[in-house]
Each structure stands twice: as C-alpha cells, then as structure tokens.
Amino acid sequence: MFIRKTLDMKKIFALFIFTALVACGQSETQTQSKTIAMMDTPTSFYDLEAKTIDGKPFKFSELRGKRVLIVNTASKCGYTPQYEDLEKLHRTYGGDSFVILGFPSNDFGWQEPGSEQEIASFCSSKYDVTFQMMSKVKTGANKGDEVYQWLCNAELNGVSDAKVSWNFNKFLVDENGQWVAHFPSSTGPMSMEITNFASGK
C-alpha cells in the first residue's frame, strides 16, 4: 500500500513538472513572438511631430498624400549653396504633392551655430528660401530628434538603418509615409534621382 502511494505521488509530481515546463515554454514563445511582432511593426511616419523654425508645432499627419524630402542643413558648409537648388526644386515641384523640410543641425563641423532666428534670416536673405524650415535638431540615430531616429532606424521605419554622414544628406518619404531612399550630401537637389521622385515618376 505504501509503495503504491509512493508511486502515485511520483506520477503526480512528474505530471506537475511536465505541465509547468510546457506552460513555461509556451509563455516564453509567446513573449518572443510579441517582441518580434513589435520589432517588425514600424512606427508610422505620420505619428511624428516637430517644430517649425519659428517655434510652431508641426504634425507629420499633415503630410499625408505628399512626397517628402527631408534634408539636414547648415549655413557655414561647403554644401550650403545647395540651398539654391533646394529652393529651385521646391518652386518647380513643390505644392500639394511634394514638400521639402529643412532641418538645421550643428552636428557636423559646428557649421550651424546660430539661433533659429539667425538661420531663418540667413536662408531668406542669402537664398530666398520659401520651403519649410524647421527648428534646429540633432540627427543621431539613437539620441537625435525623433524624426531622425525614425529616418535612421529600420526597427522604426521598416526599411533601413541609415546614417547621416554630413550636412545636406537627403531622405525621401513617399505619399504613403514609406521610407524610400537616403542620399549623401554629394547628391544634388536637382539630380535625376530626386527630381524624378519630386515629380512623381
């Protein structure tokens, strides 16, 4: 009788251990699945927000249905004359379907040291800029402004881990808020790659 009870207790204990292990395995699998699902789901471009150069809030939801070029700018860079072609691009293709957002940044060579007011004045007086300029930002993938974190992290944009290499790097986002391309400073605003995108080709 004692032997039978001992065997029964061993069976019950073994069944308990087996059940616990199965449950634990399922829980771990579910946790992994949730983590992977979260990583595979990019943050929407239209959830982002920023401030214009005059300090007004700007919701990216306003950009729905528009192709967007985002460029980090600087006033004292060898590429600063690209402002002229950026403005030309804006006047040629800008409007309801295409928008340029310029984000001043002092990240590279300390070539944008001025205040927003000074930057706005420079852009207006020197290059007659009329496309939308934004407040000064950091462009780092990890500690930068949320716009640049989105642009530079595949986990967020769903496409690419890009790296801003210098002033006047350019990012293209299509009319559905999808990350399309990243170009270095040497790719001019009036290059075929960018004009084709701006015109919707």
Nearest alpha carbon to residue 173 among 122, 114, 99, 73: 99
pLDDT reported for residue 23: 47
Q: Which amino acid is at 88?
A: K
Task: State the CB neighbour count (10 A cutoff) for residue 109.
Answer: 12
Is the separation of the CB atoms in 192 and 77 below 8 Å? no
Compare 153 and 26 and report the one with higher pLDDT: 153
SS3 of 63, please? helix
To the query of whether residue 123 is one of the catalytic residues in this protein, the response is no
Is the CB of residue 105 less than 8 Å from the CB of residue 72? yes
Q: Encode pLDDT of 48-87 as tens digits.
A: 999 999 999 999 999 999 999 999 999 999 999 999 999 9
SS3 137: coil
* Predicted local confidence at residue 28, as pLDDT: 42
- Residue 177 CA to residue 65 CA, distance in Å, equals 8
Q: Which is the catalytic residue, given 24, 77, 123, 152?
A: 77
Please give the pLDDT value at position 43: 83
